[in-house]
Amino acid sequence: MSQNKELKVLFIGDIIGRTGRRAVEKILPELKKEFSPNLIIANGENAAGGAGITEKICHELHSIGIDVITAGNHVWNQKEFLESVDRCENMVRPANYPPGVPGNDNIIININGVKIGVFTLLCRTFMAMVDCPFRTGKNIISKLKKQTNIIIADIHGEATSEKYALGWYFDGDVSCVLGTHTHVQTADDRILTKGTGYISDVGMVGAYNSIIGVEIEPIIDRFLTSIPRKFEYEKKGPVLFNAVMVNIDIAAGYAKSISRISRLIDVDEKGIA
């Protein structure tokens, strides 16, 4: 940990497909030198072919330096993951799925003697109905508070208003509320009044010349015709890497700063360019 007793957290936006994974692999050594993060978290729900995640990919992401993986509404797109999610260490699926759903709804990770709680919630506006993220979040926070005052919440949702509402609702109870899902990095990173770091959406690690990481033409065609089309993640061209750095006061559990990261990386499907 840094001498001024700060925990430095690098949180990476939604990783899309193999291209996104290769981009993370390529840039992480550079970011480690630049920012010296103590903890690296990434949303991995689109890491398998652009939709879902697998046990193998969880292990791959850990092997390249990601400590904790969060998920969202696409977590079950790879059907076999229902059977293997419980074997994936340091991964959290959305906490507000109904009781009985497999996987961790929260975790505590120990970094050099400092305990950090991590959980993720699905929003409900314009998304599938799940249990209340507000009430579920408060229950998870109460459990985590018994062991640590450093808590990181990934809020996975469409509506900025709902994410902001959750940010203010959890203000002072968690170290940061970091939005995911829309794949577009927002410019509203800030510290809320009671010390919680906030951003509506961290962004993505996906093709720069795309529509939120997906091939352009099929999406335009669907808007023009309303005919369903199969979407594939874009594999060509530079990759946009979005993340945030959050510095957290270890003693107080509050965010001291939050800042956006946005880089373009050259990667191809056959390996690192």
**Residue 66 domain flag:** yes
Domain containing 190 equals 6-272
Position 80 scores a pLDDT of: 86
**Residue 180 domain flag:** yes
* CB neighbour burial string for 93-125, b if at least 16 within 10 angstroms, e if fewer: bbbbbeeebebbbbbebeeeebebbbbbbbbbe
**Residue 248 domain flag:** yes
Position 84 scores a pLDDT of: 86
pTM over 0.85: yes
**Residue 10 domain flag:** yes
**Residue 139 domain flag:** yes
d(CA 25, CA 72): 22
- Region 156-178: mean pLDDT is 98
Tokens (6 digits) for 211: 């529509």
Cβ–Cβ < 8 Å for 190, 156: no
Q: Write the CATH number for 172.
A: 3.60.21.10
Pairing type for strands 68-70 and 91-92 reads: parallel
d(CA 156, CA 93): 11
**Strand, coil or helix: 121:** strand
Structure confidence at residue 219 as a pLDDT band (50, 70, 90)? very high
Just list the catalytic residues. 74
**Residue 132 domain flag:** yes
**Residue 1 domain flag:** no
**Residue 63 domain flag:** yes
Q: Which residues contact 187 (CB under 8 A, 6 or more apart)?
A: 260
- Structurally, how many domains does the chain consist of? 1
Helix (H) or strand (E) run with residue 141 in it: helix 133-145
Structure confidence at residue 267 as a pLDDT band (50, 70, 90)? confident
